Amino acid sequence: MAMSATQLAVQVVSWPAAGLVLWAGLRRRAGWVVVPTALLVLANAALALDPDGERATVGLAVAIVQSCYAVLMATYPDGRCAPRWLGAVVGVAIGLQATNLLSGMRLEEQPWWPWHYALTWPLLAWGQIVRYRTRSDARARQQVRWVLTAVSAMVVAFLVVALAIAGGLTTEEDTSTLATALLVLPGLGFSLGVVAPRSANLDRALRWVLAVGLTGLAAAGAVVVSTALTRGAAPPAPAWGGALAAVLVAVPGWRIASRWAELVVYGRRRDPLDAIDDLDELLAARHEIREVPETVVRTIASVTGAAHVSMDTDGTVRVESGAPTDAPPSEFVVVYRGEQLARVFVTPRPGEQTLTRADQAVIQRICAYAGPALDGARALEALVGSRSRTVLAREEERKRVRGYLHDDLAPTFSGLGLSAAALERYATDGDPRTVELAHRLAAELGAASRRLREVAYDMRPPELDARGLVQALRDRLVAADGYPTVRLDADVGPTLPAAVEAAAYRIVQEAVTNVRRHAGATVCDIRLRHGDSRFDIEVTDDGLGFPEDARDGVGLTSARERAAELGGSVRIMRAVGGGTVLRCWLPIDTSGPS
């Protein structure tokens, strides 16, 4: 009798799988569980050749399959029976199969025979789920995922076949070969868990088949109960009753089964992709943007169940979750527009030494989502810091001016008032000291005037108001003697706002000062351009060039902050052919006063 396509496919898959499992055992990549795994695969392959059970060896193959299932469900993947009470269940299962085989398959003819499967298999399955939930080794978890996924897929497939038979779409005879082929799935799951446990991420597949299988079982149970209750009623009452019962159970059952499946697969963690969707909504929502680092760290901890998650920027830990353990953390970077914004350190779950590939992929995806949000949080922090420094500088300036007025100029003018009163008295009395006192009063008035001019100059250079920006720069920088030679090319209109004019003057002054101190240049060119909505500054020298790893000094920091206060920016780069270029742009608000 020729083999069908299904039978041929089972043989093509099963025999190489058994060989690979035994090879993994010989290479000591797996324990003694390779023996029952290989036997299970080969026995299922033998059953697939005789789906109708016509050969005498079918009973032996069935006994081997059932016994291997029991052993593997209790001991897979490390060969230890845990919980220990599963050993008694395995003993009962193997004993019944052996007794049935020795009795000439008479036990399976007894009405109670199917019920022993209903008692032993749920216990064995529950033990495997418990082992999966409490597994501390990432490789072992991945091995068990293959088994649970394969078994669950087999259950779902059998449910579909049963529904098709019940609906009259096919017959039991037509599906016998397919049903036998489906029995091969768990054996392949055990085999892949031994040979290639980390070849694929099965979390979502396992969650789906568990949820579908549980919902299908609940719906099938409802149909059975409904059919029993409506037995004897005229058609189509039993069919409609079963369909209604299935729907009423399936709708709430799906929610319950999905939640239970999520707990089995992820434990207290959440489905990673669902959590990423929630993170996307959180980062897009209008919440306190400075809490973005905490939101990202909290999401990573929730998704992976990691023992410890921390994020640092510039080498400083910003926020963390959990307590550090002895396990080495894995490092991830948050990059946005080619710039590294932060580093994230994730310590594996308690008892594990490394993160799974699925965990790593999810964390990398979270970091990608977090990049724009962290960039916005950093920009806000920089803005707040700049405003804070501006307020502090303003208050320091007020304090200094007050000190001038209170501690210096106020006593000076008080003394001047006393001197003027004494001069008046001397003049009235004809005292010869009148001339000397008048000379001293004039000197003190001159000194007080100079101090007032100094205070006014510090607040705003007077030459800006007297001569304008271009001429003030010519007088202060271009006309100065020494190196480098300063050249000015200016195209500036007469309506430049006072704030922009003052900022441009100070920025150019700081730039030229830096060139004179550090560049070793012979020529420094200043170029000013006044556009419709912006003012552009470019200061170029032919000196040593700006080092790439150099940090801004006080002058450049001040220039950047002056530009940022107005909404502009400053960039410093190497010039083509040598030297340094400082480019600055300042916005001009044409709607406001100039």
113-161 pLDDT, tens digit each: 878 877 887 888 788 777 766 655 667 777 887 887 888 788 777 777 7
Tokens for 175?
Answer: 């599906």
Q: 409 falls in which pLDDT band (50, 70, 90)?
A: low
Determine the pLDDT at residue 594.
39
Give 460-506 pLDDT, tens digit per residue. 667 777 778 888 888 878 766 667 888 888 888 777 788 888 888 88
C-alpha closest to that of 117 among 42, 65, 156: 65
Is there a domain that residue 384 lies in? no
C-alpha closest to that of 136 among 313, 325, 367: 325
Q: Mean pLDDT highest for which of 161-165, 356-360, 427-431?
A: 356-360
Is there a domain that residue 593 lies in? no
Do 488 and 574 belong together in one domain? yes
Do 373 and 323 belong together in one domain? yes
Is there a domain that residue 592 lies in? no
Do 429 and 314 belong together in one domain? no
CA distances to 424, 425, 440 from 432, rounded to whole Å, are: 12, 11, 14
Please say which residue of 267, 295, 320 terminates a domain: 267
Where is pLDDT greater, at 147 or 274?
147
Tokens for 151?
Answer: 């078994």
Q: Is pLDDT of 332 > 90?
A: yes
Residue 584: strand, helix, or coil: strand
Q: Which domain holds residue 355?
A: 272-378
> What is the rounded average pLDDT for all residues in the chain?
77
Neighbours of 589 (CB within 10 A): 13
Q: Which helix or strand (DSSP H or E) is residue 309 part of?
A: strand 308-313
Do 20 and 113 belong together in one domain? yes
Please say which residue of 378, 402, 417 terminates a domain: 378
Do 530 and 556 belong together in one domain? yes
pLDDT over 70 percentage in the chain: 71
Tell me which residue has tokens 């059975």: 224
Lowest-pLDDT range of 146-155, 176-185, 225-234, 373-382: 225-234
> Could you tell me the CATH number of the domain that includes residue 514?
3.30.565.10
Residue 417 region by backbone torsions, left for phi larger than 0, else alpha for psi between -120 and 50, else beta: alpha
Cα–Cα distance for residue pair 140/136, rounded to 1 Å? 8
Give 236-269 pLDDT, tens digit per residue. 555 666 677 777 888 888 888 887 777 666 655 5
Rounded to 5 degrees, φ, ψ at 259 are -65, -45
Tokens for 318?
Answer: 């910003």
Q: 536 falls in which pLDDT band (50, 70, 90)?
A: very high
Contact (Cβ atoms closer than 8 angstroms) between residue 129 and residue 66: no
Q: Is pLDDT of 591 > 60?
A: no
pTM given for the model = 0.48
Task: Note if the bond before 461 is cis, omega within 30 degrees.
Answer: no
Rounded to 5 degrees, φ, ψ at 574 are -75, 140
Residue 110 half-sphere exposure toward CB, CA atoms < 13 A: 12
Contact (Cβ atoms closer than 8 angstroms) between residue 511 and residue 552: no
Give 440-467 pLDDT, tens digit per residue. 766 777 677 666 666 666 566 677 777 7
Do 176 and 33 belong together in one domain? yes
Do 483 and 551 belong together in one domain? yes
Determine the pLDDT at residue 120.
84
CA distances to 128, 205, 302, 370, 552 from 269, rounded to whole Å, are: 19, 16, 5, 20, 45
Tokens for 189?
Answer: 């799951």
Q: 538 falls in which pLDDT band (50, 70, 90)?
A: very high
Determine the pLDDT at residue 233.
60
pLDDT over 90 percentage in the chain: 6
Q: Is pLDDT of 104 > 60?
A: yes
Burial of 565: CB neighbours in 10 Å, binned 0-12, 13-18, 19+: middle
Is there a domain that residue 383 lies in? no
Rounded to an integer, the average pLDDT of 312-319 is 72
Please say which residue of 424, 441, 459 terminates a domain: 459
Give 56-100 pLDDT, tens digit per residue. 678 888 889 889 988 988 888 888 887 788 889 999 999 999 998
Lowest-pLDDT range of 144-153, 428-437, 500-509, 534-543: 428-437
Residue 110: strand, helix, or coil: coil
**What angle do helix axes 58-75 and 34-49 make, rounded to 10 degrees?**
150
Do 187 and 41 belong together in one domain? yes
Is there a domain that residue 35 lies in? yes
> Could you tell me the CATH number of the domain that includes residue 292?
3.30.450.40
Give 46-56 pLDDT, tens digit per residue. 888 876 666 66
Do 97 and 235 belong together in one domain? no
Tokens for 518?
Answer: 């550090």
Do 138 and 228 belong together in one domain? no
Q: Is pLDDT of 106 > 70?
A: yes
Do 124 and 188 belong together in one domain? yes
Determine the pLDDT at residue 397.
64
Task: Note if the bond before 236 is cis, omega within 30 degrees.
Answer: yes
Strand order in the sheet with 308-313: 316-322, 308-313, 339-347, 330-336
Determine the pLDDT at residue 279.
67
In the chain, DSSP finds a helix count (H) and a strand count (E) of: 19, 9
Is there a domain that residue 408 lies in? yes
User: How many separate domains does the chain show?
Assistant: 5
Tokens for 50?
Answer: 């005789």
Residue 522: strand, helix, or coil: coil
Do 314 and 401 belong together in one domain? no
Is there a domain that residue 399 lies in? yes
**DSSP letter, residue 174:** T
Rounded to an integer, the average pLDDT of 190-211 is 80
Rounded to an integer, the average pLDDT of 355-380 is 80
C-alpha closest to that of 30 among 39, 22, 19: 22
Is there a domain that residue 398 lies in? yes
Cα–Cα distance for residue pair 165/183, rounded to 1 Å? 18
